[in-house]
Chain A
């Protein structure tokens, strides 16, 4: 079945440093979504990317969808302590099943 892996598994940065998490799917995706889950919370939808090579920005967050639609990345510029949490990508395979498969997640810790 489809597998969605993320690296790194965990990253600890100092406030102000940049952070990137990478997401790789074993199959081609129709779209990819990104979620943030704060400790003790539930996943909160951040963004969806649909087009090959698409880049979207939300303030300090930059999301990219690969040309082959099998990988994606989330980059945070100048991290803040409020960015702490686990970031999941979730990919939807092409076809009618349209099941969302979550990546393994990257836990981000930000300290002053």
Chain B
């Protein structure tokens, strides 16, 4: 199947710093990318949907100024957690799909720990 990569896989940072997470579709062009967050023993919660070249659509309760999403190309989307705090510690997972009817492929996730 299609491959989606994320970098970094693990990040530990101090409170107040910003963290950038990259999501890449390696063998297909992703018109849409999704960012999810998963807290321990919970389900995946959609944070935002981004289409290449346009602004991301954020889910209710997700602060767009805190979670900056850039989908600059058909193979790359980035999520920047600005001024991270301990409560932002979570497992962040991106997924990508080639078109509206296509399967969504998930990246391996990024574990963020904010001290």
Contacts and interface: CB of A to CB of B under 8 A. Distances in A.
A42 B46 contact: no
Given A44-B106, A45-B103, A100 B46 contact: yes
B106 A88 contact: no
A100 B106 contact: no
Contacts of B108: 41-42
A48 interface: yes
Interface residues of A, number: 19
B67 interface: no
A102 B43 contact: yes
Contact of B100 (A45, A98, A104): A98
Contacts of A43: 44, 93, 106
Q: Say which size band chain B's interface belongs to.
A: 20 to 34
Contacts of A99: 46, 49
B100 A88 contact: no
A103 B106 contact: no
A101 interface: yes
B35 interface: no
Interface in A76-107: 88, 98-105, 107
B104 A100 contact: yes
Given A42-B93, A43-B93, A99-B49, A88 B103 contact: no
Interface of A: 1, 33, 35, 41-45, 48, 88, 98-105, 107
27 contacts: A1-B60, A35-B106, A41-B108, A41-B109, A42-B93, A42-B107, A42-B109, A43-B44, A43-B93, A44-B106, A45-B103, A45-B105, A45-B106, A48-B103, A88-B44, A99-B49, A100-B34, A100-B46, A100-B104, A101-B46, A102-B43, A102-B44, A102-B45, A102-B46, A104-B43, A105-B42, A107-B41
The 6 nearest A-B residue pairs measured at CB: A42-B109, A102-B44, A102-B43, A42-B108, A105-B43, A43-B106
Interface of B: 1, 34, 36, 41-46, 49, 60, 93, 100, 103-109
Given A43-B106, A102-B36, A107-B41, 4 more contacts: A45-B1, A45-B103, A100-B46, A105-B43
